Amino acid sequence: MKVVLFEPQIPQNTGNIVRTCSVTGCGLILVEPLGFSTASRHLKRAGLDYWEGVNLMKIDNLDTFLEETSDPFWFFSSKAKVNYTDVSFTSRDLLIFGSETSGLPAHFEQKYSKRFLRLPMQNDKRCLNLATSAGIAVYEAWRQQGFQS
């Protein structure tokens, strides 16, 4: 499984997601441009020594990447209608999350509307923190795989 962060903006979130990936065996794909330097002390502090051992990839175009991959993928959005608990995840899935400030571009939902999932929350709230959302999704997908490495 891999977590995909589309143009992440906050280094501490990415660092925390690195920790989640490390302890669950997930890879991490960062879609550029990033809102920070990967040399950022905040990023390294949040990720601590968990960066070692995480399969990290940087890409510059998510559209092209998705067209070329054979791996199943899911987008997570507060605007989606289907709950993340209503699908079956595989060990090859890509779990895609939007930027903290602007989410995912609308064209992804138009093109892949059946691949959009939501994390339930109160109706009058905007969204969960990115690192929290990624953690919830990763652990549900991993749980469905019997917590197998």
Q: Does domain 2-144 have CATH number 3.40.50.720?
A: no
Q: Is 133 helix (H, G, I), strand (E, B) or coil?
A: helix
Instruction: For 48-90, write each residue's pLDDT tens digit.
Output: 677 888 999 999 999 999 999 999 999 999 989 999 999 999 9
The answer to whether 59 and 30 have CB atoms below 8 angstroms apart is yes
- Cα 143 to chain centroid distance, Å, stands at 16
What's the token pair of residue 95?
Answer: 């779990």
Determine how many CB atoms are found less than 10 A away from the CB of residue 112.
15
Query: What residues does each domain of the chain span?
Result: 2-144
Sites in the chain below the pLDDT cut of 50:
none
Residue 14 · residue 39 · CB < 8 Å: no
